[in-house]
């Protein structure tokens, strides 16, 4: 049995202690793509955002936000997306991919501000967004929607809405009204489609963020259903940590001859994290080792990842019995409970 942990300090104002325990893994970039366009990109910081032909309102927002030089994924993806190409991009979390897909799609919207329906007309009509961003989790959807709000701060009449599970329907329906940009988790989006609170036939750009995580969570059928509902779109952008076979298969079903871009980070793991592998003889031995490590004088705070919700609850109880301050956190809990525990 192998047991791994990643160890790092958490901000001093954090309110809980924990341990990080994650499966050992490695990302492998596959290079056989049947002759499709494929670009493996090394880091380059030669450009600035001013070099991109982005709408003036977006350039103003970038200056306000302090954006100067694009990251590699932004440098490679933004020009291709501005040309209207479908993109399949392999890039790690934290690489700046949110701006890589928001800026070029918002640029198209910015150029058509004069053709938008009036706010009053949009509030009366069923919401029909031009840009649809799909995220695997509510936390990511909230983050992406906040980034989008920052980018459109100088665009007139553009409304952003985030819809996700775990929130009251009535409140989200009100927030959804008149939105041209919708950031959503797949399940809640389909619920609102079925309730006729949103229609997707006017979507021009569909973005799938963290596609690999989507498939891990079982959203494959939901993604294809949404793809069919947004069948009139002009462009699809898909971002994933790897070009695994299942991602290629999903892209083939949802995309039109996508250009592939792979961003090389130069390392497969975060260099700020020390990783240690512990070999154990069984579950009891692993539990004792974990408890011993937690009680170390140099461990103040940590996060533990367990393989199932049941294991999470069980491990939290056992660590609490050992005298540690622990809370469990998983998807089966109501959102209000999760917020309180965080």
pLDDT tens digits for range 45-92: 458 999 999 999 999 999 999 998 999 999 999 999 999 999 999 987
* pLDDT value at 182 more than 80: yes
Angle at 113 between CA 89 and CA 101, to 5 degrees: 10
pLDDT at 230 over 90: yes
Joined together, the tokens standing for residue 37 give 């366009």
Give the C-alpha separation, 169 to 292, whole Å. 45
Cα–Cα distance, 136 to 148 (Å, whole number): 17
Mean pLDDT of the residues in the chain: 82
pLDDT band per the 50, 70, 90 thresholds, residue 6:
very low
Report the SS3 class of residue 139. helix
For residue 183, the model assigns a pLDDT of 97
Percent of the chain with pLDDT over 70: 80
Residue 25's pLDDT is 32
Q: What is the pLDDT of residue 265?
A: 59
How many whole angstroms separate alpha carbon 215 and alpha carbon 296? 38
Say whether pTM exceeds 0.85: no
The most distant pair of C-alpha atoms in the chain lies apart, rounded to whole Å, by 68
Of 11-25, 40-54, 78-92, 314-328, which range is least confident? 11-25
133 bridge partner residues? 183, 207
- Which residue has better confidence, 164 or 266? 164
Lowest mean pLDDT among 105-119, 190-204, 218-232, 272-286: 105-119
Torsion-angle region of residue 323: left (phi > 0), alpha (psi -120 to 50) or beta?
Answer: left
For 259, which DSSP code? Answer: E
Residue 145 is predicted with a pLDDT of 96
What DSSP line would sit under 15-84, residue for residue? -------------------TT--EEEE-------GGGS---HHHHHHHHHHT--SPPHHHHHHHHHHHTT
Q: Exposed/middle/buried for 324, CB within 10 Å: 0-12, 13-18, 19+?
A: middle
Q: Using the structure block, give the residue that is written with the tokens 């910081």.
A: 45
pLDDT at residue number 47 = 82
Q: Token pair of 74, please?
A: 């932004």
Separation CA 30–CA 12 (nearest Å): 40
């Amino acid at each position: 049995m192998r047991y791994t942990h990643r160890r790092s300090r958490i901000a001093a104002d954090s309110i809980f202690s924990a341990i990080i325990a994650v499966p050992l893994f490695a990302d492998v970039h596959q290079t056989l793509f049947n002759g499709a366009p494929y670009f493996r990109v090394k880091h380059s910081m030669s450009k600035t955002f001013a070099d991109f032909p982005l709408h003036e309102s977006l350039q103003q927002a970038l200056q306000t936000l302090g954006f100067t030089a694009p990251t590699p994924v932004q440098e490679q993806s933004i020009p291709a997306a501005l040309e209207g190409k479908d993109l399949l991009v392999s890039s790690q979390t934290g690489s700046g991919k949110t701006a890589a897909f928001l800026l070029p799609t918002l640029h198209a919207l910015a150029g058509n501000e004069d053709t938008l329906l009036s706010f009053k007309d949009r509030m009366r009509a069923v919401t029909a967004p031009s840009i649809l961003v799909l995220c695997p989790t509510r936390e990511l959807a909230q983050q992406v929607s906040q980034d989008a709000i920052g980018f459109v701060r100088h665009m007139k009449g553009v409304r952003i809405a985030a819809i996700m599970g775990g929130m009251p329907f009535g409140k989200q329906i009100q927030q959804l009204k008149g939105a041209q940009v919708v950031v959503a988790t797949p399940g809640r989006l389909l619920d609102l489609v079925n309730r006729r609170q949103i229609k997707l036939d006017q979507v021009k750009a569909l973005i799938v963020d963290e596609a690999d995580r989507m498939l891990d969570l079982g959203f494959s059928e939901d993604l294809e259903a949404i793809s069919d509902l947004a069948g009139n779109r002009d462009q699809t952008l898909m971002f994933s940590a790897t070009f695994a076979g299942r991602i290629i298969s999903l892209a083939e079903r949802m995309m039109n001859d996508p250009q592939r871009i792979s961003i090389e980070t130069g390392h497969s793991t975060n260099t700020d994290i020390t990783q240690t592998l512990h070999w154990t003889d069984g579950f009891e031995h692993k539990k004792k080792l974990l408890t011993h490590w937690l009680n170390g004088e140099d461990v103040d705070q940590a996060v533990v990842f367990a393989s199932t919700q049941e294991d999470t609850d069980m491990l939290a109880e056992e660590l609490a019995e050992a005298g540690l301050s622990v809370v469990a956190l998983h998807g089966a809990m109501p959102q209000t409970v999760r917020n309180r525990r965080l």
